[in-house]
Structure 1
Amino acid sequence: MKKRSSADIDQAVVNVWKRELGQLSTRNFARRFAASEDLVSRLEIHKKLEKHDGCVNTLSFNAGGDILVSVSDDLRVILWDWETGRDKLSFRSGHANNVFQANFMPFSDDRTIITCAADGEIRQAQILEGGEVKTILLGKHEESQVHKLAIEPGSAHIFYSCGEDGVVQHFDLRTRSATELFTCLCVDDFKGYRSYVPLNAIAIDPRNPNLFAVGGMDKFAQLYDIRKYKWDGSSDFGQPVCYFCPQHLIGNEDTGITGLSFSDQSELLVSYGDEFIYLFTQSMGLRNPPFPSSSFMVSMGSDTSKVEPGSIASSSSMDLDGKNAPRVYMGHRNCETVKGVSFFGPRCEYVTSGSDCGRIFIWKKRGGELIRVMEADKDVVNCTEPHPHTMALASSGIEYDIKIWTPKAIERATLPTNIGQVCLFHSVCIEIHILKNLLVAFDLMAWLDPVIYEIR
């Protein structure tokens, strides 16, 4: 990692001077300090939380930031006092298959948690006095896994779900009812495999909770406006307000969206499988269904066609049409699993994601510069969850533990130089390991032995 410039040091001194003179409020001073790149460079493991007996699929902090909730393939929900590393409560989720998401409902005194899972169910867990927990089935996506839930900002009752059946549902805890809003349709399914998009992600704009985006096994993130829906079913709600997609991916049938996140400034972060992460502003949305054309495609001689996942390159190589091109973040690998993506910092100054190589990647939001890479898992990191108030981060993946990162390192970390090669090698090793396990599971190793002997 490059040394801190004298300009950065000078600016820090100026900020202290302004605060002492009353020209910079204490809140703004604290925010500027909290967003310091120096703190990012000093992140290290504070605690390892160990109690799950399966892959930890998701993490979420409560509004106060003192409790972390986790769920796993072991079907359990655990509430942690993450600062001490102690579990406060552990209970069965009520699901019959891998649990993918868990969130505290706002204004519930941290006693209401909603969950979704591979069994297609959406459930509510109510923590009663004395620690007893009651789980209730709220709704279901038939024969479909449900990866994500999205809570309406500021609401104690409203949230949404999306499933691999392409359906988006609306929930109201006051009535414990589920309303099927629409089925997300493919924009340009030329191969004719399906008419709907299996959905992996949903996110609500915090500045305008009427707007929410969905994404899945398609290259378009689709933005919808709930105000266009009439509860008597008389309107055609299944039409997006606009679409988001990097121009060079339009017409590409080999990639899809694994993660979505809105910033406090209504910017939309989109993570693609076998590709990169892109940041869109609202002005970059395409109003009409975009179909491939020569003006949308990248020429084979461009820099973009030469960039592979796992490599490090300047974001300027993706600026296809000047100022209107999305910002790109690259260096990680997102090929093996469904990974999330998130903003980090008090004003979303950074972007963070896990990687197939078992590392956490952190970029500057402005400029797209990769500034930190952290060893976090022996296999794959799927989830990076930022603390709501401080520069702390929680991560989880294929391993059964949870890691809490805080900026307490004495020495600043340096950025590795061979990230692309290491990520690619690690990904190949994982694929070989999975293949070997499959052969063992189906007792094919014994069948292959005589074949190999005959070949010899």
Structure 2
Amino acid sequence: MKKRSSADIDQAVVNVWKRELGQLSTRNFAHRFAASEDLVSRLEIHKKLEKHDGCVNTLSFNAGGDILVSGSDDLRVILWDWETGRDKLSFRSGHANNVFQANFMPFSDDRTIITCAADGEIRQAQILEGGEVKTILLGKHEESQVHKLAIEPGSAHIFYSCGEDGVVQHFDLRTRSATELFTCLCVDDLKGYRPYVPLNAIAIDPRNPDLFAVGGMDKFAQLYDIRKYKWDGSSDFGQPACYFCPQHLIGNEDTGITGLSFSDQSELLVSYGDEFIYLFTQSMGLRNPPFPSSSFMVSMGSDTSKVEPGSIASSSSMDLDGKNAPQVYMGHRNCETVKDVSFFGPRCEYVTSGSDCGRIFIWKKRGGELIRVMEADKDVVNCTEPHPHTMALASSGIEYDIKIWTPKAIERATLPTNIGQVCLFHSVCIEIHILKNLLIAFDLMAWLDPVIYEIR
């Protein structure tokens, strides 16, 4: 068992002493304890929730934290008592394709759930007395998958959707109507594929619910202010308030955004496919869209343009011009699927993400230090959902179960020494598997066999 350092013990004693003298409030004492790195190092599987018959694409806790809702490729939505591992309610979502998002609406007594899916539909599920569920079609993105919904904080009625058609819609459950706000346009579509951005993610700033960010198959996260929208349709509401992008990615057409999340301090977390995760403060927003320049390179302790995803590198928060640059989080692999990214801890002290190597990664928000890696799926982890009040975590991915993680381990976990190499090798194996299937189809396996032997 790894012993606690004397510095950890000394700090714990000091915090107790400050609380007893009234120099540290009970709330702050509880937050410091709940955010302890020691708890993160003791996370282990508490329960496996097993009832879905397909990949689990979405996880969300209710406001009280006692119920977890999940959605899956099997088209079902399940409500769980996660502490006991018992399912409370299971129902057909009404969707015709994979369920990508399912969330409780606030102040609905956990009886109103909104969902979106690969069929492009946005639906409301109303749980009636006796457990019967009624689903209603609220809106649709035509010929487009819808990956994410964003609920206005503190509202029992308002939420947004974004789709691969680039459209952002506004919903009000009081009228059960959808308002198309705008189509998200590309900033600099150098290859001329399309004028709009297929959207994967949307998030609302909890400190200022008038602001929301969207991201997709483009390197810019775009921030919008709903106050600029004129509900009589008299204004052109399509111009972002500002843009967020690491400087070295400007002009890069080979990456896009898979996940967005706001912290309680209005920081914006952005996860890129085939790249890393970045944390932006509001002051890092670009008022006008920049265009590629040879001077746009960011220094983070090493040349990140030469760092492969799946490797671990040091980082700092200054670019070559001495200006603030976003904090970077490295080590995971995000190439195969559309992955979420989340803050973790009572005051968003940590950042967490799944990975193509089947692991959960947890970093310190400040400094970007990787402090925990957990085996969570045989293939890919897509969702990591923090509990709203305690240091518990739910995860899901390609496997059909949901794993609940709580800090109950007796021994503290340590980081694997070869985690970067393992993630990179896992990705190479996936690419070889895809290539192998193609070559089998064309009867060219005799050419690939010697290559696989040399790699192994």
TM-score, normalisation: structure 2: 0.94
**How much has 1:76 moved relative to structure 2?**
0.2
Compare 161-170 and 24-33 and name the one that shifted more. 24-33
Q: Deviations 1:59-105 (Å, cap 9, x if unpaired)? A: 00000000000000000000000000000000000000001000000
Deviation at 1:27, TM superposition (A): 1.2
Q: Is the 8 A contact 2:117 2:146 kept in 1?
A: yes
Is contact 1:310-1:420 (8 Å) kept?
yes
Distance 1:330 1:448 in 2: 32
Distance 1:433 1:283 in 2: 44
Q: RMSD in angstroms over aligned alpha carbons?
A: 3.2
Paired position in structure 1 for 2:149: 149
Give, in whole Å, the separation in 2 of the partners of 1:56 and 1:455: 33
Inter-partner Cα distance in structure 2 for 1:188 and 1:443: 41
Q: SS in structure 1 opposite 2:317?
A: helix
Shift of 1:296: 1.8
- Does 97-106 or 319-328 show the bigger shift? 319-328
The Cα shift of 1:2 comes to 9.0
Query: Is the Cα–Cα contact under 8 Å of residues 304 and 318 in structure 1 kept in the other structure?
Result: no
Contact 2:2 2:411 in 1 (8 A): no
Inter-CA distance 247–449: structure 2 relative to 1 (3 Å threshold)? closer
Please say if residues 317 and 325 of structure 2, whose CA atoms lie closer than 8 Å, have aligned partners that are also in contact. Answer: no
What is residue 8 of structure 1 aligned with on the other side? 8
Q: Distance in 2 between matches of 1:454 and 1:45?
A: 37
How far has the Cα of 1:33 moved from its partner? Answer: 0.1
Contact kept, 8 Å, 1:199 with 1:216, in 2: the verdict is yes
Asked if the contact 2:300–2:318 (Cα under 8 Å) also holds between the matched residues in 1, the reply is: no
CA distance in 1: counterparts of 2:453 and 2:13, whole angstroms: 72
The question of whether the paired residues in 1 share the 8 Å contact of 2:298 and 2:325 is answered with: no
Match of 1:427 in 2: 427
Contact 2:19 2:25 in 1 (8 A): yes
Cα displacement (A) at 1:265:
0.1
Give the gaps of 5 or more residues in structure 1.
Answer: none
Are the equivalent residues in 2 in contact too, given 1:318–1:328 (CA < 8 A)?
no
Q: For residues 195 and 412 of structure 1, do their structure 2 counterparts lie closer, same or farther at Cα, with a shift above 3 Å needed?
A: same
Tell me the CA shift for residue 298 of structure 1.
5.4
* Greater CA drift, 147-156 or 439-448: 439-448
Q: Which moved more, 1:284-293 or 1:78-87?
A: 284-293
Deviations 1:185-212 (A, max 9, x none): 0000111110000000000000000000
Unaligned runs of 5+ in 2: none
Between the aligned partners of 2:3 and 2:315, the Cα distance in structure 1 is 21
Whole-angstrom CA distance in 2 between matches of 1:455 and 1:237 = 53
Q: 1:151 to 1:19 in 2, by over 3 A?
A: same
Q: Work out whether residues 301 and 315 of structure 2, in 8 Å CA contact, stay in contact via their aligned partners in 1.
A: no
Post-superposition offset of 1:4 = 4.7
1:10: how far off? Answer: 1.5
Relative to structure 1, the CA distance from residue 294 to residue 346 in structure 2 (aligned partners, 3 Å threshold; closer, same or farther) is same
Equivalents in 2 of 1:435, 1:96: separation in Å? 31
Label 1:445 to 1:78 Cα distance change in 2 as closer, same or farther (>3 A): farther
Q: Provide the aligned length of Structure 1 versus Structure 2.
A: 456
- The percent identity for this pair of structures is 98
Deviation at 1:28, TM superposition (A): 1.1
Q: What is the CA deviation profile of residues 233-269 of structure 1, one whole-angstrom value per residue up to 9, with x for unaligned ones? A: 1112100000000000000000000000000000000
Instruction: Measure the CA separation in 2 of the matches of 1:264 and 1:206.
Output: 6
Residue 246 of structure 2 contacts residue 298 of structure 2 at CA under 8 Å; is this kept in 1?
A: no
What's the CA shift string for 1:402-437, capped at 9, x where partnerless? Answer: 000000000000100111110011122233445556
Q: 1:438, CA displacement in angstroms?
A: 6.9
